[in-house]
Amino acid sequence: MIILNIFTKKPFLIADVRNDFLKIVQSNNISNMDAAKSAINQAKSCGFDAVNFEAYHLKNLFSRDYVEYLSKEPITSHFFKFDEFGYEEFRELADYCHEVKISFLATPMDFESADYLEEFVDVYKISSHDLTNIPFIKHVASKDKPILLNTGGATMKEIKDAVRAIEEDSLVDIAIMHSVLSYPTSYDDANLLMIKDLVNNFPDYEIGYCDYTEVDDDLLILTTAYNYGAVVLEKQFTYDNITTDNSCAITYDEVIKFKSKIAFLSKINGRINKQPLICESFARNETRRSIVAKTDIKKGELISEDKITFKMPSIGISPAQVEEVIGKKAKMDIFKDNLIDFDMLD
């Protein structure tokens, strides 16, 4: 098993810019491409490691009878706004991302998009909508590029089936993303403990979190997700919080604040395995106990429990070794309050 290694930075931050840049287009009277590039610049500038776009053609998403109905539904109406970008546009964005040194991720929503993205995408993302679309997942896996697997609305069995489908067709690296298939996600439904469940069920893969909650003042949702084991974090991003009304999108200043919190968390989290620290060395040597003579012990006397006690410092025999002392004979006179050493015993 190869653990995902494209994301060597922890956490790896992904900016979802798709829902915001069209509003910036409208408010600033610029082209879609200019707005997308501007979003990429801002994401890079405030500390994101990647940007994610969706790629699809409406004709490949919905049956004809369903299109008119869906166009009126708020939860899916955004699909109708993002059908303008295709191969040429996404290739230009990918080239631009590589130029400014930020990873280009894309979420293909159909086979056609998955195929043309292969030429230049760094990482594929599988949408929660396609988690049970096993033929499509296998098709994406055959491209042999790392995959982020979104798990909104999924059972553990469905997630395992999707992972197995990838593993059967490819050796690609996988990051499994907790998310909630409800937009916006209420705080009560965030269910961040599910991240720990994914960590336990998929120890060989990196675990992430795709956050659709409203941005909280203290950024506790994202910082808690990271603390629970989500090392890949995706969040909607806006750099124009004056014209946007997207309360789920994190702003430039909030990203800076979040990265500062994560740096502090990383500092205080330290190492996972329990062991003495360098800063504890003095206390270990000076304040732990040693076996000490409770009374004067004459040469030839047997050491019994009533003749010893335990006092600082810890440079003598540890109380943990008391059974190796009890019953031994003193080779010399040992005075009250003196540390007892094995050289003094027969």
pLDDT given for residue 104 in this prediction: 96
Which residues, 6 or more positions from 201, have their beta carbon under 8 angstroms from its beta carbon? 156, 159, 160
Which of 239, 269, 299 represents a domain boundary (last residue)? 269
Structural tokens at position 317 = 């025999």
Q: What residues does 185 pair with on adjacent strands?
A: 213
pLDDT given for residue 122 in this prediction: 93
Do 261 and 304 fall into the same domain? no
Measured CA to CA, the distance from residue 310 to residue 78 in angstroms comes to 72
Do 70 and 144 fall into the same domain? yes
Which residues, 6 or more positions from 6, have their beta carbon under 8 angstroms from its beta carbon? 103, 122, 123, 146, 173
Amino acid in the structure at residue 208: G
Angstrom CA distances, 43 to 129, 193, 207, 284, 345, stand at 26, 28, 22, 47, 70
Do 24 and 163 fall into the same domain? yes
Do 192 and 326 fall into the same domain? no
Which of 246, 269, 292 represents a domain boundary (last residue)? 269
Residue 126 and residue 140 in contact, taking contact as beta carbons nearer than 8 Å: yes
Structural tokens at position 328 = 């031994």
CA–chain centroid gap for 22, Å, is: 29
Please identify which residue in the block is written with the tokens 């631009």: 96
Instruction: Characterize 218-244 residue by residue with b for buried, 16 or more Cβ atoms within 10 angstroms of its Cβ, and e for exposed.
Output: ebebbbbbbebbbbbbbbbbbbbbeeb
Residue 195 and residue 207 in contact, taking contact as beta carbons nearer than 8 Å: yes
Split into its structural domains, the chain has a count of: 2
Residue 118 lies in a domain: yes
Do 172 and 262 fall into the same domain? yes
Angstrom CA distances, 58 to 73, 126, 134, stand at 15, 17, 20
Do 34 and 162 fall into the same domain? yes
Structural tokens at position 294 = 């409770």
- Would you give per-residue pLDDT tens digits along the chain (346 residues)? 334 455 778 899 999 987 666 666 666 778 888 888 989 999 999 999 999 999 987 777 766 666 666 655 554 555 555 556 899 999 999 999 999 999 999 999 999 999 999 999 999 999 999 999 999 999 999 999 999 999 999 999 999 999 999 999 898 899 999 999 998 999 999 999 999 999 999 999 999 999 999 999 999 999 999 999 999 999 999 876 544 557 889 999 999 999 999 999 888 988 888 999 999 999 988 999 999 999 999 999 999 999 999 999 999 999 999 999 999 999 999 999 999 999 999 9
Which residues, 6 or more positions from 35, have their beta carbon under 8 angstroms from its beta carbon? 21, 22, 24, 25, 28
Residue 338 and residue 311 in contact, taking contact as beta carbons nearer than 8 Å: no
Residue 249 and residue 288 in contact, taking contact as beta carbons nearer than 8 Å: no
Do 196 and 327 fall into the same domain? no
Residue 141 and residue 133 in contact, taking contact as beta carbons nearer than 8 Å: no
Measured CA to CA, the distance from residue 67 to residue 77 in angstroms comes to 10
pLDDT given for residue 285 in this prediction: 87
Rg over alpha carbons for the chain, rounded to the nearest Å, is 30
Do 249 and 212 fall into the same domain? yes
Do 150 and 49 fall into the same domain? yes
Residue 3 lies in a domain: no
Q: What is the CATH number of the domain that holds 316?
A: 3.90.1210.10
Amino acid in the structure at residue 303: I
Residue 126's SS3 state is strand
Which of 269, 303, 326 represents a domain boundary (last residue)? 269
pLDDT given for residue 243 in this prediction: 45
- Show the CA angle centred on residue 8, arms to residues 40 and 53, nearest 5°: 30
Residue 6 lies in a domain: no
Do 253 and 285 fall into the same domain? no
pLDDT given for residue 226 in this prediction: 96
pLDDT given for residue 73 in this prediction: 56
Please name which of 175, 39, 142 lies closest in space to residue 97, comparing C-alpha atoms: 39
Range of the domain at 333: 278-344
Measured CA to CA, the distance from residue 107 to residue 55 in angstroms comes to 6
